[in-house]
Amino acid sequence: MTTVYTITYVLLAAAGMLTVGRLLVGPTDLDRIVALDVLVILITAGVTVEIGMRREGWNIALVAVVALLGFLGSVTAARLVERKGSEQQASERHRSEGPEPGGPERQEPERRGAGH
Amino acid sequence: MARQVISAVLLLTGAVFCLLGAWGLVRFPDVPSRLHAATKPQTVGLMAILVGSAVQLAPRHAAGLLLVVLLQLVTAPVIAQRVGRAAYRTGCVRHDLLVVDDLARQRGRSARRPEPPGPADVGGAEPPPTPGRAG
């Protein structure tokens, strides 16, 4: 059984290294967001293997919290990137074609100052 | 003994799936295909590892791990949808690799739709915020 745990940890560590490579290389921000999400999943998997190895249940709450935090972080970062990109596109359109009434991406100006 | 065999098989399967997902994350060419590699094999691998650890635990701890499985099943499609939408809107999609592009059809239709004649909207300026009881 120790061999099984060792092989599992080695495979997870190799996956983590590949993911960190994508995190460092990744050409866009969205690649890095995806890589961070995968890294959170791999950390969750590693903690879970440790739980099964020791047969103790005290850090199951840690696993749940890490999974939820990874979800919240990924969704928030994706939303931020989406809004930033659409603002850039809207400003380019504004510069090239002139003002466009009622652009579909620019209709929420009041949310921009909400994150103090 | 049977529990240990089941647990070992599930743990190794899950780790192999996680490794395949990470390899796809490195190999694939653009954001949606990397997202495909990042969500599906990773979720299957994490589920296999969680169930493989839950087999060895007491039932109440195993219930906690199954809750994490449920959480992952609920949250992974949400992440994939948000990131894919952001990738399409910010132009991180290689259109020569797409087979079907439903969003382009939707965008084309909405762009071709004639705009409603509204002379009040043409000015482009938003109405000034009313001072006073707004807060």
pLDDT tens digits, B19-43: 999 999 999 888 888 998 888 999 9
B117-133 core/surface letters (b: 16 or more CB in 10 A; e: else)? eeeeeeeeeeeeeeeee
Cβ atoms B35, B87 nearer than 8 A? yes
Distance CA B14, CA A8 (A): 8
Residues in chain A with CB shorter than 8 Å from the CB of B18 are 11-12, 15, 41-42, 45
Q: Which residue of A has its CA nearest to B5?
A: A1
> Is the separation of the CB atoms in A59 and A82 below 8 Å?
no
Q: Which of residues 17-36 of A touch B (CB under 8 A)?
A: 18-19, 21-22, 28, 30-31, 33-35
* Overall average pLDDT of the A50-55 stretch: 88
CA A113 to chain centroid? 23
CA gap A18, B21 in Å, rounded:
10
Tokens of B74: 């609920």
Place of tokens 């065999």: B5
Would you call B79 and A71 a contact, using CB atoms and an 8 Å cutoff?
yes
Nearest-CB residue to B86 (from A18, A22, A82): A82
Amino acid at B68: V
Q: Are A82 and A33 in contact (CB under 8 A)?
A: no
Mutate to test the interface with A, among B13, B18, B20, B39 (most CBs of A within 10 A): B18
B41-59 pLDDT, tens digit per residue, is 999 999 999 999 999 988 8
**Terminal Cα distance for chain B, rounded:** 67
Hey, is the C-beta of A52 within 8 angstroms of any chain B C-beta?
yes
Are A11 and B82 a contacting pair at CB < 8 A? no
How many angstroms separate the CA of residue B68 from the nearest CA in chain A?
6
- Residue in B21, B64, B90 closest to A38 by CB: B21
Contact B11, A49 (CB under 8 A): yes
Measured CA angle at A20 (ends B8, A41), to 5 deg: 45
On whether the pTM is more than 0.90, the answer is no
Judged by CB atoms closer than 8 Å, whether chains meet at A64 and B67 is answered as yes
Q: Which has the closest alpha carbon to B32: B97, B78, B76, B107?
A: B97
* Out of A10-24, A45-59, A80-94, least confident range: A80-94
What is the pLDDT, as a whole number, of residue A83? 85
Alpha helices in B28-130 (DSSP H): 31-54, 59-89, 102-112
E-assigned strands of chain A?
none
Distance in Å from the first CA to the final CA of chain A:
51
Query: Which is more confident, A68 or B129?
Result: A68
> What ipTM does the predicted assembly reach?
0.74
Q: Which amino acid is at A108?
A: E
